Every structure is written in C-alpha cells, then in structure tokens.
Amino acid sequence: MINEVRVKYFKRFENETFELRDHIVLAGPNNAGKTTLIQAINTWHFALRRWMKAKYRAGEEGATGNGGEDAVRSRSGLPITRKELTAVPLRSLELLWTGTSTGLRRRDLQGEQKLGQKKVLTITLAGGSGTAGWELPMEFVHANSEMLYVKPAPEQMEAVPRAARELNVVYVPPFSGIGPEETRRDQPYQELLIGQGKAGDVLRNLLWELSQHSDKTLWQELVDSIEAIFGYRLLLPEYEGRPFILCEYLPGIPPRRGLGGLPRLDVSSAGSGFQQVLLLLSFFLARPSTLLLLDEPDAHLHVVLQKQVYDHLRRAAAARQCQLVVATHSEVIIEATSPGKIVSFYGARPHVLVNEVERDHVREALRRITAMDLLLAEESHGVLYVEDETDFNLLRAWARVLEHPTRRWFEQGPFYHPIRGREVREARGHFFALRAVRPDLPGYLLLDGDHRELPDREITAEGLEIGRWRRYEAEGYLLHPASLLRFVAARVEPLFQTAARRVLEDQLPPAVLHDPLGEHDILEALRASKTLLPKFFKAAGCFFPKRDYYLVAEQMEPAEIPSEVREKLDRIGEHLNMG
C-alpha cells in the first residue's frame, strides 16, 4: 500500500504532495488534476517495471562479466522512447513536464543549480508504515521529444527491490466503448491501448484470460457478480478456430442448465453501463494488483448502479488487500466515502477533507458549480445573488449614476448568480457549494416581495447575508414620474408622452406622485414590472421589454434614486469586501 505521492515538474503539478489511505477518492471539477495524479502513479510504476526488467536482463547477460548491474545504473539512466511510454499518451515528451519546460528557469534555481540545466522530473511514492516504511523517487530527464532517461534516485536505490515486490499497479482509464470485434493481444500491446484510453478494446482479451485461468473461481466470481448486479448470465468466451474472440451473454438467468430460450447476445450489443461494469470487474479479477487506479468508473452508470458497483469494488478490494484510488465526479460516491478518504481538488491546493461539512461542500460543488463559477470564485471579492439579470442590471446602472464605490466591481467581471424564479434555497445550495472552492468567500442574497414570508433562518448560511427590498421589487425604485417621463420624451411624440403621463396619474396615488422617494404602503405591494410599467410604456408607444428597464435607471438623476438603493449598494460593498 502507498500512503503518499510527491510529484515535481509532472504535467500540471510543479511541486505537490498527496496523502493516500487504504482507498482514496479524488473529487473535483474537470481539468483540476485528478487524472494527472493517477497518471503520475502509473508512470512511476511503468518506470520501475522497466528498470527492474532491464536490470534483470543486464544481470543475465553480465553473469560472467562485470556484474551487469552497471548497465542500468549509468549516469543518465535507462533510455525510454515516447512510443514505449505506454503509461501516458503523448505526442511529444516535453508535454510530460510542467509547462513543457524541460530546463531550469531562474525561479527554479536552488543551491548550485544553473540556468538551463535539465529539470529532473521526480515522482516519489512512499509505502509501508512507521519504521517498516519505504520511499522511492523515480527520476526522469528529458533527452529530446522522442526519448527520456529514467532511474531511481541514487540515494534510495535500496528501496527498489521492496517497492517492486510489494507494489503492483493496474490502471483503468475512463470507459470509451468497445468495438464489434477483438483479436488476441499480448499484455504489452494491451497496456499500449490502455495508455491511449482504449481500455474497451481489451475487454474481450480480459474475459478470455479469466475464462482460461487456472483458478476457475475467478471466472465464476465474475459471472456471479454480473448476475447479482444486472441479472444477466455471462457465457464462456470462444476463440479457438476463430479470427476474433466471441464474448456473449444471456439477457437473463436460465432456471436450469442451457439457454432457457434466451437469445445469445454479443457484449457489444449491451448498454454502456453493463459494458463499463464488466470492464471494471474484469480488470479487477484478471489483473491482480495491490493498487487499482480507476479514472471516472461512474461515468456511464445510473446513480443506483454507481453506489452498488462502488460498494462491490470496495468489498472485493478489502478482501484482496488491494488499495483503490478512484477519480470521480459522482455525488453518490462522495456521499458513500468518509471525509478522511477524499482528496478535494477544489480550492488553491488539493487537500484531504477533515469533516463531513467539507464533504458536503464538495458534493454540492460537483452538483451545482460550473467551470465559470470556479474561475469567478477564485478571482472575485464575493458573489451576489439576485432574482434575475434585470435586478443585476438595475443595481449596476444605479451604481454608475450614484458614482458608488461598488461601480468598479459591477463593471469589471462581477460574480453574480441569478435565481431566475427558482426556489430561493437554490442560492443557499449554490453558495454552500462555492465554499468548497473558497471557504472564505462572502455572499449577499437580495430578495424581493415574492419571498417576504420566508424567514432568514431557512435560507441563510455561514458567510451569506440576506438583504430584502422594502418595495415589492427592484423595478419599484424606477417609479419616479420625472425620470420615466424624461425617458419617454426622448423617444416618442408629445401625444404619447401625454398618454403615458395619464397612466402614472391613474395608477399612482397623489402621495406617491408628490413624494416618489418616500415610503408608501402601496409600493410594498405593487408589482411594477408586471402592472404599471408595461401599461406606461404601452401608452407611450414604446413596448419596452423588462430586460431593458436598466436603461431607465441609467438616465435617472442621483436625486431621483431612493436612498434605500444606496443603502443596499453600501451593504453589498461592505459584505463582499470591495473596499
């Protein structure tokens, strides 16, 4: 078992350390580094196997010479070509190094290192425990786009035999489907296809190997597992006398021996969920390992099946003392795993979760957070929740007119999230998920009269402040007769201006017409965006849509904007740390 992985200059990880457990789940968004960590472990294992193979060969050839071991302990290391590196598919070996930079830059220099000197890409695995533990760094040096050199770190050479003896790694990439036919392939070629992400192209080979294995319980275990999960019966693969491996199943379980009237179907005709589970279990049984790397094993599975397969793999792995490392986007798998066995790739650095609250953050982030949310959460002062884009545009327009300190935030890529008429608790859930990305991120939720009866305690969360308009909605603060009439005067003939004025006089009581900035009970209940404003613009002949109401706000005078608008902008700025 391994308990720590350290990588330096490997792909996206310039210098990172990962803690592992008896099994570990890697959770986070796309392109966050989950697959990169799995590839690093697989690359380390590939390099170690190649080193041991070359050492053994050198020992055999040099048994009567100078010992042979010097042949693989040269200063440069063991040469490996790009095509031989089946652990990671690359079009050029520079892509293995962080930022494709294979030479030391000024900021990389340490001690007596020199500018431009070769960067030593290092992947270190540590296993065992306490005084019985071991640690082995494998070092990679770039030669050119088609070749690199690899060797164990000289100071840790004594750990090589134990690491090679104790650790056997099997990598299962994301499932990408299977072809209609498959011929027999030796294991090195299978590994090449797996490294290229074509694991489905070796499924029939795995099934054939299991059916021919001396331990007949392995095939029977696979058959029993498929029957328990899907209710299907796997048939023995056939290859002798054929140009390809025939793998079939019955879409049911016959009550007695024979087919029971069920049709024989090729595995390629089954659903992707069945194929993926069959592939996972076949890898697990046909490639005995001490460490199984699974990249998105849940990708094509129904949520119920995700939990069932995950539990099955955990039980089988525990029985065989096999360590699992699972990269996933599955909320189900996250929920089924204790926090200390989850590495979160949300936030500034990957980290092991501490408690169930952090696990809930990650689960909600997987469900709700988009790639744009991730970017904005990292770069923004905070997040503003509003009813819809109209509310946001009105706030931005008023911030400009008032020359408010929040104006800069509104104009420079602000982070806001419209509820768009959904359950207001959606904002709470979204904000809770964002805390997985930035635990210190503040949020402000501004509500209108639709949610007046909902108490704050049902929607608030740590770091999320609730604000409420005193008028029914944000559009109610546009109801200043001078502003509205000035807006239509620039667009319509005097006759229409008169008709629009009459709408205001008919719909608003004299107290509001006389003091539009005051607090009036009627404005607390008036849904201006659905009643008065559409009538006003229709009378003016404008037919002005709600999404453009911010244009009215943009031409208001500062003295025409109610003081509550400034109060709300003040509070937004203070809570979201806009300075």
Under 8 Å between Cβ of 324 and 23: yes
Under 8 Å between Cβ of 509 and 522: yes
pLDDT, tens digit (0-9, with 9 covering 90-100), for 165-175: 989 999 998 88
Under 8 Å between Cβ of 189 and 202: no
DSSP string, 397-440: HHHHHTT-TTHHHHHS---EEE-TTS-THHHHHHHHHHTTT-TT
Q: What are 191's two structure tokens? A: 């590994």
Please state which CATH number belongs to domain 172-176+186-337: 3.40.50.300
Q: Which of 189-193, 466-470, 472-476 has the lowest mean pLDDT?
A: 189-193
Phi, psi of 20 (to 5 degrees): -120, 165
- Segment holding 155, helix H or strand E: none
Q: Which of 139-143, 454-458, 462-466, 540-544 has the lowest mean pLDDT?
A: 454-458
List the chain domain ranges.
Answer: 2-16+31-155, 172-176+186-337, 371-468, 474-564
Task: Kindly state the percentage of the chain with pLDDT values over 70.
Answer: 96
Q: How many residues does the chain have?
A: 579
pLDDT at 461: 82
Average pLDDT over residues 372-389: 90
The alpha carbon torsion through 276, 277, 278, 281 (nearest 10 deg) reads 120
* Beta strands 13-19; 2-10: pairing state: antiparallel
CA distance 569 to 555: 18
Give the Å distances, CA to CA, from 189 to 44, 82, 83, 284.
19, 15, 11, 19
| Sign of the torsion formed by the C-alpha atoms of 399, 404, 410 and 415 | negative
Query: What is the residue type of 308?
Result: Q
The alpha carbon torsion through 534, 535, 540, 543 (nearest 10 deg) reads 30
H helices within 320-416, ranges in order? 331-335, 356-368, 371-379, 389-401, 407-411
49, pLDDT greater than 70: yes
pLDDT at 31: 86
CA distance 450 to 468: 10
pLDDT class of 372 with cuts at 50, 70, 90: confident
Under 8 Å between Cβ of 444 and 571: yes
CA distance 233 to 35: 33
pLDDT at 65: 43
513, pLDDT greater than 80: yes
pLDDT class of 182 with cuts at 50, 70, 90: very high
pLDDT at 58: 64
CA distance 517 to 562: 5
Radius of gyration of the chain (CA): 32
pLDDT, tens digit (0-9, with 9 covering 90-100), for 71-108: 455 677 999 999 999 888 899 999 999 999 999 888 88
426, pLDDT greater than 50: yes
| Residue 384 β-bridge partners | 416, 444
CA distance 579 to 576: 9
139, pLDDT greater than 60: yes
Q: What are 194's two structure tokens? A: 């797996």
Phi, psi of 405 (to 5 degrees): -55, -25
The alpha carbon torsion through 471, 475, 477, 482 (nearest 10 deg) reads -140
Average pLDDT over residues 156-173: 91
Query: What is the residue type of 237?
Result: P
68, pLDDT greater than 60: no
What's the start-to-end Cα distance of the chain, in Å?
50
Q: What are 141's two structure tokens? A: 């040096």
Under 8 Å between Cβ of 10 and 85: no
pLDDT at 63: 46
Phi, psi of 508 (to 5 degrees): -110, 135
Angle of helix 272-286 versus helix 216-230 axis, rounded to 10 = 150
230, pLDDT greater than 70: yes
Under 8 Å between Cβ of 385 and 445: yes
